[in-house]
Amino acid sequence: METVRADVAIIGAGGAGLRAAIALAEADPKLRVALISKVYPMRSHTCAAEGGAAGVIKSDDSLEHHFNDTVGGGDWLCDQDAVEYLVQEAPKELIQLEHWGCPWSREPNGSVAVRPFGGMKKQRTWFAADKSGFHILHTLFQTSLRFPSIERYDEYYATDLIVDDGRCQGFTAIEMRSGQMKRFQAGAVIIAGGGAGRMFPFTTNGAIKTGDGMALAYRAGVPLKDMEFVQYHPTGLPNTGTLLTEACRGEGGILVNKNGRRFLQDYGMGPETPLGKPVFKTMELGPRDRVSQAFWHEQKKGNMLPTKWGDCMLLDMRHLGEKTINERLPLVRDVTTSYLGVDPVTDPVPVRPVVHYMMGGIHTDIRAATPLAGLFAAGECACVSINGANRLGSNSLTELLVFGRRAGLSAAEYVRSARPGNDAALEAKATAAQARIRSLFEKTGGKESTAGLRKEMMATMEQNAGIYRDANGLSEACTKLGELRHRYAEVELNDKTNVYNTDLLQALELGSMLDCAEAVTVSALARTESRGAHQRLDFVERNDTKFLRHSLAFHHPAQPPRVDYCDVVITTSQPGVRDYSGDHK
Amino acid sequence: MRLSIYRYDPDRDAAPRMQDYQVALEPSDRMLLDALVRLKEQDDSVSFRRSCREGVCGSDAMNINGKNGLACITKLAELPDHVTLRPLPGLPVIRDLIVDMTQFFRQYESIKPYLINDTAPPERERLQSPEEREHLNGLYECILCACCSTACPSFWWNPDKFVGPAGLLQAYRFIADTRDQATSERLDSLEDPYRLFRCHSIMNCVDACPKGLNPTHAIGKIKEMMVRRSV
């Protein structure tokens, strides 16, 4: 098998992967960095992030405020040492991006502009219109072109990590255009493969978000942490699930039910704030978990508006006026007009909650290191954990910068003392991985199709692992996913060509999603409490005595995952009550 | 709806061919990409790229009834019942609707698409007024889908020598950025018979851009700067 040798190999070239690559190149230009991605870097899902990135920059704000907002927003499941590191590094990273050319929106005096975001006590969300992720991704991609030590492998799909001598030393990957498998041998590997929202049918996530990076680490024995925490974004387009950024509400948009009532005041987020004058951490600027949960209750009360796309609430931005909408939310106007035929300047936009983000992911420590030597992870695929039980909007772009860089620096340090690998042993493991792919590729007489199993998985997740959960539904989902895991072995491909085989790719992606989905449901069933985005109808209270802990799901090839727990790191903030009610802050 | 799709698999086909499909649409299907995703459930072997499905990532550019565009923001309601899909013209085909973008990205990279400013950066952000920032409007939204460059006859003829509308739009994006100091270096690198001057203002790029950008205008600006500095 053809071997590509690098000092550090990175899987995923979205925001986190590119930031890691640049950190490596800056740390030591002699390190050979291989950056592989299943898509061209600028196609990565970072490009779809809209609202912005949080970092303390204005004089009325403080690191302590950002820390407290994040830890409280995460319902105290965040590791506080990691949050301290995040808030301290955030402004440096955002300024660094500015120096690299990121076209941040500006104040009249030429300084960067910031906007309010849900669950944040001050204005600290840096933005570039409502295409912040797009501009961050392009700025990182462009900057990466300056460094000759970064070698890109675009449209390569990683299939298996290669672990030998107790450490990760590379992986196998399929070059899509030729269908050839290659062995990447590296002193260290960084996974930056993004989230797994596509295991649900209704999601803001693009088609590529299939949890491949998470599944790679998981199958290699690294636990997935806090997978039961799946974030619903309250304002998705009801037909496609396309995201309408929280900045709609940050700029002053309001949410009303079918009776025209701003219903969030009935769910502990009141009192009602004046129209067009959003108040921090109140009403429409409540955290995503609470706002999405309010939708669920309103539906039970029959207060949602029936539309041809299902029951919706209305996001009303008319009072913002055409000028503000065009300047600050151009993409929102574009998207609602093209996909729904609704212009936010003249009409309220129907919305409903949509799967958006995985708080959980590959278990890493504050150095972005996993328990497997030589393996690091950052971005949405990782759980470090700064998001705890509920991520605050605009912390994820910051996270991928801060911990993308950290992963790069940690890997650079690690490879300095890494011993050379045993070529023969590594080659043998790569050959075994190749045999696994070949048997899927060549299988005949299989009874199952990728599309069929995928539909069943999505239906199960939607039905049983949504905003509110209970033991019955989750048990049913666990059983169903176990069954799908068995049936997956019976998948037969129709397309047996080597060149750019998307049928094979989709089958492999389904395998990743099934692994992630099982980790979600098994961890959710085991967590018999309600915290942040994980709400149990049968265990409605938060239980700090038993569950102020991270769950860790360990992979088993033929059985459901085993769930274990580890402690949450608490430095200064003891668990308290999350208060989003007006002036009680 | 009826879809005629350009099919080519170099592993099996001696030559490309067109294949016809009938696709049953669901009421929720709004964009051409929705139809393609349905088709893929019928025939797993039909190959195309897609990612964000909202017109931001630039993956699913293709030639739709003779015009380049993004499948994910092309409305089914505005298409006739019979739609012919071909790969973007002028680039080598890898398979079906998937083209080899190497040449396109090589040209993009040739214009040094990153901020060049050799003065030591301040501790905080570099200042830029909202008016200065606005100079980037119409330039910085480019998603690199290649609809424009692959609609350009000059790029078809000289993809190795002519930067093409997408690359030139980006060249001007950095020239227009008040934080960038490399204007004269950037102009120098375009001062040759091909890189910039093969643009004959045919304006296919403007017609093709799914994001409503105007590369010809940006190219005109660069040409104007070239003239101004030579007199």
Determine the Cα–Cα distance for residues B61 and A248; give it in Å rounded to an integer: 29
Angle between helix A132-144 and A15-27 (nearest 10): 30
Longest CA–CA separation in chain A, Å: 70
Q: At which of A303, A321, A354 does a domain end?
A: A354
Residue finishing a domain among A393, A421, A449: A421
Q: Is residue A120 part of a domain?
A: no
pLDDT tens, position by position, A296-318: 999 999 999 999 999 999 999 99
Q: Do B52 and A48 touch (CB under 8 A)?
A: yes
Kindly state whether residue A580 falls inside one of the protein's structural domains: no
Instruction: Tell me: pLDDT of A479 over 60.
Output: yes
A358-411 pLDDT, tens per residue? 999 999 999 999 999 999 999 999 999 999 999 999 999 999 999 999 999 999
Candidates A101, A105, A501; nearest CB to B115 = A101
Q: How much is the mean pLDDT over chain A?
A: 96
Residues A301, A337, single domain; the answer is: yes
Cα B210–chain centre separation: 9
What is the average per-residue pLDDT within A497-509? 97
Q: Quickly state the pLDDT bin for A583 (edges 50, 70, 90).
A: low
Q: How do the pLDDT tens digits run along chain B, 231 residues long?
A: 999 999 999 999 999 999 999 999 998 899 999 999 999 999 999 999 999 999 999 999 999 999 999 999 999 999 999 999 999 999 999 999 999 999 999 999 999 999 999 999 999 999 999 999 999 999 999 999 999 999 999 999 999 999 999 999 999 999 999 999 999 999 999 999 999 999 999 999 999 999 999 999 999 999 999 999 988
Residue A325 sits in the same domain as residue A194: no
**pLDDT at res. B231:** 83
In a domain, A96, yes or no: no
B131 touches chain A (CB under 8 A): no
- A226 & A308 share domain: no
Whether A324 and A387 map to the same domain: the answer is no
Domain end point (choices A421, A440, A469): A421
DSSP, collapsed to helix, strand or coil, labels residue A159 as strand
Counting one residue from chain A and one from chain B, the pairs whose CB atoms sit within 8 A come to 151
Asked if B141 has any chain A CB less than 8 Å from its own CB, the reply is yes
| DSSP one-letter code for A124 | -
Cα separation of A44 and A16, whole Å? 10
Per-residue pLDDT at A403: 98
- Return residues 469-528 of A near B (CB < 8 Å): 493-495, 497-503, 506
Of A99, A101, A451, the CB nearest to B41: A451
Kindly indicate whether the ipTM for this predicted assembly is greater than 0.90, answering yes or no: yes
Cross-chain CB nearest to B47 (options A45, A145, A502) = A502
The reply to whether A156 touches chain B by the CB within 8 Å rule is: no
Q: Kindly report the CATH number assigned to the domain that includes residue A548.
A: 1.20.58.100
Secondary structure (DSSP) of A18-63: HHHHHHHHHH-TTS-EEEEESS-GGGSGGGG--S-EE---STT--H
Whole-number pLDDT of residue A585:
46
Beta bridge partners of A164: A167
Between chains, do B128 and A106 touch, taking CB under 8 Å as contact?
Answer: yes
Q: Between chains, do B28 and A44 touch, taking CB under 8 Å as contact?
A: no
Q: Does A510 map to a domain?
A: yes
Q: Is residue A18 part of a domain?
A: yes
Q: Verify that A506 and A452 share a domain, yes or no.
A: yes
- As a whole number, mean pLDDT of residues A6-15 equals 98
Query: Which of B125, B136, B186, B211 is the best residue to mutate to test the A interface, defined by the most A CB atoms within 10 Å of its own CB?
Result: B125
Query: What pLDDT, on the 0 to 100 scale, is given for residue A338?
Result: 87
Q: Which residue of A has its CA nearest to B175?
A: A101
Chain B nearest CA to A134, separation (Å): 8
Q: Are residues A350 and A399 in the same domain?
A: no
Q: Check residue B27 and give its pLDDT.
A: 85
Which of A244, A497, A506 to probe the B interface (max B CBs under 10 A)? A497
Q: Tens digit of pLDDT for each residue in A563-578?
A: 999 999 999 999 999 9
In this structure, are A513 and A444 located in the same domain? yes
Q: How far is CA A512 from CA A194, A203, A217, A457, in A?
A: 12, 17, 11, 12
Catalytic residues of A: 233, 249
Question: Is there a single domain that holds both residue A466 and residue A327?
Answer: no
- CB-based burial label for B43 (10 Å; 0-12, 13-18, 19+): middle
CA distances from A404 to A38, A195, A213, A494, A569 (A): 18, 15, 14, 38, 21
**Residue A30 falls inside a structural domain:** yes
Are A154 and A227 in a shared domain?
yes
**Which chain A residue is nearest to residue B31, measuring alpha carbons?**
A339
HEC profile of B52-113: CCCCCCCCCEEEECCEEEEHHHCEHHHCCCEEEEECCCCCCEEECCEECCHHHHHHHHHCCC
A167 and A210 assigned to the same domain: yes
Number of domains in chain A: 3
Calpha distance B15→A223 (Å, rounded): 48
The pLDDT tens digits for A314-369 are 999 999 999 999 999 998 999 999 889 999 999 999 999 999 999 999 999 999 99
Q: Is B40 on the interface with A (CB under 8 A)?
A: yes
Both A367 and A224 in one domain: the answer is: yes
Q: Is the pLDDT of residue A213 over 60?
A: yes
Instruction: Report pLDDT for A364.
Output: 98
The answer to whether the Cβ–Cβ distance between A239 and B28 falls below 8 Å is: yes
Contacts A134 to B, Cβ<8 Å? 56, 143
To the nearest 10°, the Cα dihedral for B95, B97, B98, B101?
Answer: 130
Which range of residues forms the domain containing residue A268? Answer: 234-354
How far is the C-alpha of A198 from the C-alpha of B206, rounded, in Å?
35
Residues in chain A within 8 Å Cβ distance of B57: 39, 42-45, 47-48, 206
**Among the partner residues A48, A494, A502, nearest to B56 by beta-carbon distance:** A48
On whether residue A256 sits in a domain, the answer given is yes
A95 falls within a domain: no
**Spatial distance between the Cα atoms of A279 and A583, rounded to a whole number of angstroms:** 9
Residue A342's domain is classified under what CATH number? 3.90.700.10
Task: Verify that A40 and A160 share a domain, yes or no.
Answer: yes
Nearest-Cα distance to chain A for B169, in Å, is 14
Say whether residue A266 is in contact with chain B using an 8 A CB cutoff: no
Instruction: Look up the CATH number of the domain holding residue A171.
Output: 3.50.50.60
Does position A584 have pLDDT exceeding 80, yes or no? no
